[in-house]
Structure 1
Amino acid sequence: MVENEPVALVFEDQAYTRAELDALSAGLAATLSARGVRAGDRVALMSSNRPEFVVAVRAIWRLGAAVVLISPAWKRAEVRHALEVTDAAHAVGDHPVLAGLRPMLSLEEPIAPGDPGSEARDPDSDAVLVFSSGTTGMPKAVRHTHRSFAAAVRHWHDALELGPADRIQIVTPPSHILGLLNIVTALESGTWVRLHRRFDLDRLLHHIQSDRITVEMAVAPIALAIASHPELESYDLSSLRYIMWGATPVTPSVAETVTRRTGVGWVPAYGASELPVIACNPLKGARLDSAGRAVPGVTLRVVSLETGEPVAPGETGEIQAKAESLMAGYLPAEATQEAFHDGWYRTGDVGHLDADGWLHLTDRSKEMIKVKGFQVAPAEVEAVLHGHPAVADCAVFGVPDPSDGEAVIAAVTTAEPVEAEKLIALVGESLASYKRPREVVFVPEIPRLPSGKVLRRVLKESHGRPADQ
Structure 2
Amino acid sequence: MSDGRHVTGAAALAFGEREYTLAELEALASGMATALEQRGVRAGDRVAMMSSNRPEFVAALRGIWHLGAAAVLISPAWKRTEVEHALTLTCPSHAVGDHPVLAELMPMLHLDEPVAPGRREFDAVAPDADALFVFSSGTTGMPKAVRHTHGAFAVAVRHWRDALELSSADRMQIMTPPSHILGLLNIVMALETGTWIRLHPRFDIDTMLHHIESDRITVEMAVAPIALALAAHPKLETYDLSSLRYIMWCATPVTESVAADVTRRTGVNWVAAYGTTELPVIAANPVTGARLDTVGRPVPGVRVRIVSLEDGTPLDADEVGEIQVRADSVMAGYLPREATASAFADGWYRTGDVGRLDPDGWLRITDRSKEMIKVRGFQVAPAEVEAVLHGHPAVEDCAVFGEPHPTDGETVVAAVTTNAAAVTADELIDLVAERLASYKRPSRVVFVPAIPRLPSGKVLRRVLKEEHGRTSDS
- Is the TM value for this pair above 0.5? yes
Residue 92 of structure 1 corresponds to 96
C-alpha distance in structure 1 between counterparts of 2:104 and 2:403, whole Å: 31
Q: Deviations over 1:255-298 (max 9, x none)?
A: 00111111110110000000000000001110110000000010
Q: Please identify, of 305-314 and 434-443, the stretch whose mean Cα deviation from structure 2 is larger.
A: 434-443
Q: Deviations over 1:223-269 (max 9, x none)?
A: 11111211111111000000000001100000001111111101100
Residue 456 of structure 1 corresponds to none
Shift of 1:6: 0.8
Residue 290 of structure 1 corresponds to 294
Residue 407 of structure 2 corresponds to none
Query: Stretches of 4+ moved more than 3 A in 1?
Result: 133-136, 397-411, 432-439
Which of 251, 272, 287 does residue 268 from structure 1 map onto?
272
Q: Structure 1 residues 233 and 72 mapped into 2: Cα distance closer, same or farther (>3 Å)?
A: same
Residue 327 of structure 2 corresponds to 323
Are residue 31 (structure 1) and residue 32 (structure 2) matched? Answer: no
C-alpha distance in structure 2 between counterparts of 1:188 and 1:12, whole Å: 22
C-alpha distance in structure 2 between counterparts of 1:272 and 1:204, whole Å: 25
Which of 119, 123, 130 does residue 126 from structure 1 map onto?
130
Q: Structure 1 residues 309 and 408 mapped into 2: Cα distance closer, same or farther (>3 Å)?
A: closer
Q: Structure 1 residues 245 and 112 mapped into 2: Cα distance closer, same or farther (>3 Å)?
A: same
Shift of 1:119: 3.5
Are residue 178 (structure 1) and residue 182 (structure 2) matched? Answer: yes
Q: Deviations over 1:409-454 (max 9, x none)?
A: 999xxxxxxxxxxxx9xxx9xxx998594572363x348xxxxxxx
Q: Structure 1 residues 257 and 318 mapped into 2: Cα distance closer, same or farther (>3 Å)?
A: same
Aligned residues of 1:22 and 1:116 also touching (Cα < 8 A) = no
Match of 2:136, SS?
strand
Match of 1:283, SS?
coil
Residue 152 of structure 1 corresponds to 156
State the one-letter code of the partner of 2:161. H
Shift of 1:93: 0.6
Which of 435, 441, 447 does residue 468 from structure 2 map onto?
441
Matches within 5 A, 1:289-438: 289-367=293-371, 400=386, 406=399, 437=463
Match of 2:141, SS?
coil
Q: Deviations over 1:204-231 (max 9, x none)?
A: 1111011000000001111111112111
Residue 15 of structure 2 corresponds to 11
Q: Structure 1 residues 6 and 139 mapped into 2: Cα distance closer, same or farther (>3 Å)?
A: same
TM-score w.r.t. length of structure 1: 0.81
C-alpha distance in structure 2 between counterparts of 1:83 and 1:262, whole Å: 44
State the one-letter code of the partner of 2:274. Y
Shift of 1:133: 4.7
C-alpha distance in structure 2 between counterparts of 1:92 and 1:405, whole Å: 37
Residue 380 of structure 1 corresponds to none
Residue 220 of structure 1 corresponds to 224
Shift of 1:138: 2.1
Aligned residues of 1:144 and 1:327 also touching (Cα < 8 A) = yes
Tell me how many residue pairs correspond in the alignment. 401
State the one-letter code of the partner of 2:343. A
Aligned residues of 1:409 and 1:437 also touching (Cα < 8 A) = no
Match of 1:100, SS?
helix
State the one-letter code of the partner of 2:468. V
Residue 171 of structure 2 corresponds to 167
Residue 387 of structure 1 corresponds to none
Aligned residues of 1:279 and 1:294 also touching (Cα < 8 A) = yes
Match of 2:351, SS?
strand
Shift of 1:118: 3.5
Which of 191, 194, 199 does residue 198 from structure 2 map onto?
194
Q: Deviations over 1:19-41 (max 9, x none)?
A: 11100000010010011101011
Residue 68 of structure 2 corresponds to 64
C-alpha distance in structure 1 between counterparts of 2:145 and 2:399, whole Å: 23
Match of 1:366, SS?
helix
Are residue 203 (structure 1) and residue 207 (structure 2) matched? Answer: yes
State the one-letter code of the partner of 2:307. V
C-alpha distance in structure 1 between counterparts of 2:37 and 2:265, whole Å: 52
Shift of 1:332: 0.7
Aligned residues of 2:371 and 2:401 also touching (Cα < 8 A) = no
Q: Which runs of 5+ in 1 are unaligned?
A: 370-396, 412-423, 448-466
Q: Structure 1 residues 219 and 116 mapped into 2: Cα distance closer, same or farther (>3 Å)?
A: same
State the one-letter code of the partner of 2:318. G
Q: Structure 1 residues 82 and 191 mapped into 2: Cα distance closer, same or farther (>3 Å)?
A: same
C-alpha distance in structure 1 between counterparts of 2:100 and 2:397, whole Å: 28
Shift of 1:368: 9.8
